[in-house]
Chains A and B, each alone.
Chain A
Amino acid sequence: MPTVSMTVNGKQVTADIAPNTLLVSFLRENLRLTGTHVGCDTSQCGACVIHINGESAKSCTMLALQADGAEVTTIEGLAKGNDLHPMQKAFQENHGLQCGFCTTGMIMSAVDLVKKHGKPDDATIRKGLEGNICRCTGYQNIVKSVKAAAQEMEG
Chain B
Amino acid sequence: MYQFDYQRPETLDEAVALLKEDCKLLAGGQTLLPTMKQRLAQPEALVDLGAIDSLRGVCPDDDKLAIGAMTTHAEVASKADIPALACLAAGIGDPQVRNRGTIGGSVANNDPAADYPAALLGLNAQVTTNKRVINADDFFVDLFETALEENEIIINVTFPRPQAAAYVKFDNPASRYAIVGVFVAKTGSGVRVAVTGAGPCVFRHKGLETALNNNFSAQAIEGVSVSAAGLNSDIHASADYRANLIKVLTKRAVAQIGG
Interfacial residues, chain A to chain B (CB-CB below 8 A): 2, 18-20, 22, 41-44, 46, 49, 55-58, 61-63, 65-66, 68, 109, 112-113, 128, 130-132
Neighbouring A residues of B176 by C-beta, 8 Å: 130
A85 to B3, CA, bound (A): 39
Neighbouring A residues of B1 by C-beta, 8 Å: 20, 22
Q: Give B80-102 as 1s and 0s: 1 = Cβ < 8 Å from A's Cβ atoms.
A: 00000000000001111101100
A22 to B29, CA, bound (A): 11
Q: Which residue of A lies closest to B46 (CB)?
A: A19
Q: Which residue of A lies closest to B174 (CB)?
A: A44
Q: A19 with B8: in contact, given A62-B100, A130-B94 (CB under 8 Å)?
A: no
A131 touches B97 (CB 8 A): yes
- Residues of B10-45 at the interface with A, using a CB-CB cut-off of 8 Å, are 26, 29-30, 33-34, 37
A132 to B93, CA, bound (A): 11
- Tell me how far the C-beta of B77 lies from the nearest C-beta in chain A, rounded to whole angstroms: 11
Q: Residue A19 contacts which of B3, B93, B99, B175 (CB distance < 8 angstroms)?
A: B3
A62 touches B29 (CB 8 A): yes
Q: A131 with B29: in contact, given A56-B99, A61-B34, A65-B8 (CB under 8 Å)?
A: no
A113 touches B95 (CB 8 A): yes
- Residues of B159-194 at the interface with A, using a CB-CB cut-off of 8 Å, are 174-176
Neighbouring A residues of B30 by C-beta, 8 Å: 43, 61
A42 touches B37 (CB 8 A): yes
The CB with the most chain B CB atoms within 10 A, among A46, A49, A61, is that of A61
A130 to B3, CA, bound (A): 32
- Tell me how far the C-beta of B47 lies from the nearest C-beta in chain A, rounded to whole angstroms: 12
- Tell me how far the C-beta of A69 lies from the nearest C-beta in chain B, rounded to whole angstroms: 8
A40 to B33, CA, bound (A): 14
B96 touches A109 (CB 8 A): yes
- Tell me how far the C-beta of B36 lies from the nearest C-beta in chain A, rounded to whole angstroms: 9
Question: What 10 additional pairs, Cβ within 8 angstroms, besides A55-B99, A56-B96, A57-B99?
Answer: A19-B3, A46-B96, A49-B96, A56-B99, A58-B97, A61-B34, A65-B6, A66-B50, A131-B93, A131-B95
A43 to B36, CA, bound (A): 13
Neighbouring A residues of B50 by C-beta, 8 Å: 66
B5 contacts chain A at the CB level, 8 A cutoff = yes
- Residues of B58-115 at the interface with A, using a CB-CB cut-off of 8 Å, are 74, 93-97, 99-100
Neighbouring A residues of B8 by C-beta, 8 Å: 65-66, 68
Neighbouring B residues of A132 by C-beta, 8 Å: 94
Q: Which residue of B lies closest to A58 (CB)?
A: B96
Q: A43 with B34: in contact, given A20-B1, A20-B3, A62-B100 (CB under 8 Å)?
A: yes
- Tell me how far the C-beta of B220 lies from the nearest C-beta in chain A, rounded to whole angstroms: 33
Q: Which residue of B lies closest to A132 (CB)?
A: B94
Neighbouring A residues of B96 by C-beta, 8 Å: 46, 49, 56-58, 109, 131
Q: Which residue of B lies closest to A59 (CB)?
A: B96
Neighbouring A residues of B26 by C-beta, 8 Å: 63, 66
Q: Could you list some 21 contacts between A and B, CB below 8 A?
A: A18-B3, A19-B4, A19-B5, A19-B46, A20-B4, A22-B1, A41-B37, A44-B174, A46-B96, A56-B95, A56-B96, A57-B96, A58-B97, A61-B29, A62-B29, A66-B26, A66-B50, A68-B8, A109-B96, A131-B94, A131-B96
Neighbouring B residues of A62 by C-beta, 8 Å: 29, 33, 100
Q: Which residue of B lies closest to A48 (CB)?
A: B96
The CB with the most chain A CB atoms within 10 A, among B3, B4, B6, B96, is that of B96
- Tell me how far the C-beta of B94 lies from the nearest C-beta in chain A, rounded to whole angstroms: 3
B95 touches A63 (CB 8 A): no
Neighbouring A residues of B46 by C-beta, 8 Å: 19, 63
Neighbouring B residues of A43 by C-beta, 8 Å: 30, 33-34, 97
